[in-house]
Structure 1
């Protein structure tokens, strides 16, 4: 009997290993297809050095921020590869934080990105996730072991709006995208806050940026972003928070952050992570 159990365990382990290898390969193929679509939307950018003396009539905190994180004459960011590690909260009521690693490709013009994540559900059992905005559509795709679909959502409307919000909020990692002429319109709120509006085709989003006294982005908030609850999308206040700023190339960017839903009973964080690598493509 013991021998039989050992044989069964070995067979199950081998089967799981084969499924993991196949699932990872299949997921990688899907990622390549998605990234190809993303690259096909790129708009060529001519070299255009940053001119901090020609910021126009920007809100005071935004002007201070751009002077703080950018250098005069530096090139614009055209694309970036971001690698993260951290923890993702899989719990709907009680918290259930699981470790993740991810690699994200971002294109500035036309705005788009693909977040390709691997979340550890159990030891040796990963969940793969695509969270993306491509050609004006949002995408949320989740698969167990990379080959057993758990969720697939794709399209315009609330999903696309939520993903474009993410693109705009994460501009703290590619701050030249927040310069005048890059598509973002700014409106003064007070001495520490400004509203940013970004339009891509039929999708328009507004986020409120709050800045520190040192001229850095502290939080980014949306009055409502689509939150998926039991298969239904519910508009919910949402916030991203940044800290641990360091110099990366010509820019000063945050290397740690947290994202949360702002529920009536209090904030519910669902993403906590840090940047492990940033690779920029510049309009030289």
Structure 2
């Protein structure tokens, strides 16, 4: 009995140390992100910037932004939701914490479950996907150009949570398709890709679809957005789903609900 208690105690200590180590690693990555970020919150949005944009894109910005509001430079977001680890598994509960910088494309996300912790990131122009069991054993450590492109696609799709980032710029171009569709083209250094964006009649973005790498092959990757609410003077979706559109059928692997979002905070106030 004493030996069993000792073993349990050691396991609990190892798990606790793993959790502390994970927290410190994540905190350092957030600090690195902010050290590379650029402040553009002194820049303001003007409705005149919409001239010449496709009709559904104009409808979107008129719906989600207010004339004269400052650009968003950085974001802190928290969510809850459900997640699948593979095509055959069931959904499990997940909570997430995420940080974005805008002018320089960067983000770091930590998703936590009872069994594993996942970290998605694009920092200093490099993407990384890392998964750790019990915050101790690294079972996935994805790197390279395909990962970087995928992480950049995630960053752009999630710009619906900081929509000034979707305004036309040197990296962002909108191309008309029809009254409810537009192509969003993104170029950043050696990375380039397009999204087909669907808008409803209200002006909300309801889906964004692109071709994303899945095991060395690009497959259709779709983000669904709904439940728009106004917060901090911006209308954003509070519910999102992520789907692989495969030949065998649609595979929804993430369902997130935003629980907290803050803009343009100082680094000292973002992570304890």
TM-score band, normalised by shorter chain: over 0.9
Matches within 5 A, 1:1-284: 4=1, 7=2, 9-45=4-40, 47-92=42-87, 94-121=88-115, 127-155=116-144, 157-181=145-169, 183-222=171-210, 224-228=211-215, 233-281=216-264
Deviation for aligned residue 1:213: 1.2
Unaligned runs of 5+ in 1: 122-126
Bigger Rg over Cα: 1
Give the Cα separation in 2 of the matches to 1:64 and 1:183.
21
Would the aligned equivalents of 1:164 and 1:205 in 2 still touch at CA under 8 Å? Answer: no
Structure with the largest fraction of strand:
1
Would the aligned equivalents of 1:75 and 1:282 in 2 still touch at CA under 8 Å? Answer: no
Unaligned runs of 5+ in 2: 267-272
Give the Cα separation in 1 of the matches to 2:56 and 2:109.
29
Give the Cα separation in 2 of the matches to 1:34 and 1:118.
16
- TM-score where L is the length of structure 2: 0.93
Deviating 4+ runs (over 6 angstroms) = none
Give the stretch that moved more between structures: 165-174 or 16-25.
Answer: 16-25
Would the aligned equivalents of 1:136 and 1:203 in 2 still touch at CA under 8 Å? Answer: no
1:239–1:259 Cα change, 3 Å: same
Deviation for aligned residue 1:182: 6.4
Give the Cα separation in 2 of the matches to 1:72 and 1:241.
26
Count of aligned positions:
266
- TM-score where L is the length of structure 1: 0.89
Would the aligned equivalents of 2:41 and 2:71 in 1 still touch at CA under 8 Å? Answer: no
Give the Cα separation in 2 of the matches to 1:30 and 1:11.
28
Give the stretch that moved more between structures: 23-32 or 109-118.
Answer: 23-32
Give the Cα separation in 2 of the matches to 1:268 and 1:247.
30
SS at match of 1:103: strand
Would the aligned equivalents of 1:83 and 1:278 in 2 still touch at CA under 8 Å? Answer: yes
Deviations along 1:208-228, whole A, 9 cap, x unmatched?
Answer: 111011110100001x21124
